[in-house]
Structure 1
Amino acid sequence: MKILTAIAATAAVLTGSSAASQPTKPTILLVHGAFADASSWNGVISILKKDGYDVVAVANPLRGVKNDAKYVDDIANGIKRPIVLVGHSYGGSVITEAQASNVKALVYVAAFAPDVGESASTLSGKFPGSTLGAALAPPVTLADGGKDLYIQQSRFHEQFAADVSPAQAASMAAGQRPITEAALNEASGAAAWKTTPSWFIYGDGDKNIPPQVLQFMAERARSRYTEVVHGGSHVVMTSNPKAVAKVIERAATAVTSPSLSSAGEPGSYRL
């Protein structure tokens, strides 16, 4: 009996030692962009959770870059483990401004990666191709004098989500979250990609942010890995969740195993 007890105790110690040696997977913090909501990540979330990641999809306020980044920081600071911070569209401006010290990697999904002094609006006009302006509905005037922007529901599918079904696009259009005009014009006060490694994925059919702009930002940020989805719309995370989840997991692996992060990187790849 004493021998069996000793064996069991030794096994427990060995098992505990082995478990302790395994790196903790980072938490994935997802930040949606304008004209979307947290449900736009649903397909990506399912894959990440199946693969053993803790995931938090933030309800981005869409009120202003500094305001929204502070909100994301508050959430990040409450997570006591490393974070891979992922932003879509305007959400990229937010994660670029965020300052939480436990953010170890940035993933830009069809997203803005501004330098200090740049805004979403100035970047989207850096190269031709964005048709967002013509697709916007008349602004909603707010009590404080600001303006909320929406995409016309009749234009939403073509403009924002051309590679999802018409029925899904119609639901997304009806539930879209507005962004303030001021948020799109607010200059970035930080450029987190200068000090935190970044990964990029976007579609070459994006009509909100011209693909040339996305390529420019990825190259400027010295992206560890950039993937371009052929025919992908602005909501590439909704239409191609497997590809987006794979890039996020690549970043997460680099956080826990830095020696793996340089394999085949930096580079640009096309699906």
Structure 2
Amino acid sequence: MTTNDMPTVVLVHGAFADASSFARVIPELLGDGLKVVAPAVPNRSLIGDSAYIASVVRRIPGPVVLVGHSYGGAVITVAGAEENVKGLVYLAGYALEEGESLGRLQGGFPESELATALVYTPFPLADGDEGTDVSVEADRLPEIFAADVDPALGRVLAVTQRPLAAAAFSETAPTAAWRDKPSWGIVASADRTLNPEVQRFGYQRAGATTVEVDSSHLVMLSHPGCVADVIREAVRSVAN
């Protein structure tokens, strides 16, 4: 496979964050000569967000490796059904089964500290109805979400967080791309946002090649080298 045929890495961020959460990983991948795309996920609904990422993937010529952090893992599980997606990488993420929701998957395990720090805020929908945004208490986000990230950055993350619409928690995945495609996963073993057991269970069920890192939920900011290495492994595997 020539350099031009190497997979494009598409980085899909999760809830309470944006694409800048990959800021320490992107330079490593670009330094390898890889093509990288890091779109902004709307964070409005699992189905809608997955459709948007799928549309991004369809515009990319050649193979794609999808990387999803946290809620982004659920998104790539669905969007990964696109024909040119050749591999999935989960970072402290939700590897949903077909017909499963975020709430159902994590509901089978003890709650994390995040559950006590969530804020629910109404917002207007286009049809005149009202939706609910879910965010994290700003003064608690650094310790729960980013405990091993520089404290100054943690404070910035707290006030720039992107909420996730509550509807996304109950929508079920119409497909599970990991059933037909190879997957890799990083368990953030010190995660206080998404119970590491939820991560382990989903990865094991998906048959993912898994590594564990003593990390907060934001593993790509606190351990960018490890994350980049797993992505490199996925790229090499699907490129052979």
Normalising by structure 1, report the TM-score. 0.84
- Supply the distance in 2 between the matched residues of 1:138 and 1:73 (Cα, whole angstroms): 28
Query: Once the two structures are superposed, what CA deviation does each residue of 1:48-93 show, in whole Å capped at 9, x if it has no partner?
Result: 0001101000100111111111111111111011000010111111
For 2:56 and 2:88, how far apart are their aligned partners in 1? 16
Aligned residue in 1 for 2:23? 42
SS in 2 for 1:173: helix
Q: Tell me which of 223, 226, 229 is aligned to 1:246.
A: 229
Task: Give the Cα separation in 2 of the matches to 1:97 and 1:136.
Answer: 26
CA RMSD of aligned residues (A): 1.4
Indicate the residue corresponding to 1:182 in structure 2. Answer: 167
SS in 2 for 1:71: helix
Match of 1:195 among 180, 183, 201: 180
Q: Does the CA-based 8 Å contact 2:145-2:217 persist in structure 1? A: yes
Name the aligned partner's letter for residue 112 of structure 1: Y
CA distance in 1, matches of 2:83, 2:69: 21
Residue 165 of structure 1 corresponds to 150
Contact 2:92 2:188 in 1 (8 A): yes
Aligned counterparts of 1:102 and 1:152: Cα–Cα separation in 2: 39
Q: 1:139 to 1:50 in 2, by over 3 A?
A: same
Give 5+ residue unaligned stretches, structure 2. none
1:237 aligns with 2:220: yes
**Correspondence 1:121 to 2:106:** no
C-alpha distance in structure 1 between counterparts of 2:4 and 2:202, whole Å: 31
Determine what percentage of the aligned residue pairs are the same residue: 45
- What's the counterpart of residue 73 of structure 2? 92
Give the secondary structure class of the aligned counterpart of 2:174.
coil
> Larger RCO: Structure 1 or Structure 2 (Cα < 8 Å, ≥ 6 residues apart)?
2
Residue 101 (structure 1) aligned with residue 83 (structure 2): yes
Structure 1: stretches of 5+ with no match in the other structure: 1-19, 258-271
Count of residues in correspondence between the two structures: 236
Shift of 1:151: 0.4
The answer on 1:69 being equivalent to 2:50 is yes
Distance of 2:96 and 2:114 partners within structure 1 = 19
Whole-Å separation in 2 of the counterparts to 1:196 and 1:177? 30
Deviation at 1:129, TM superposition (A): 4.2
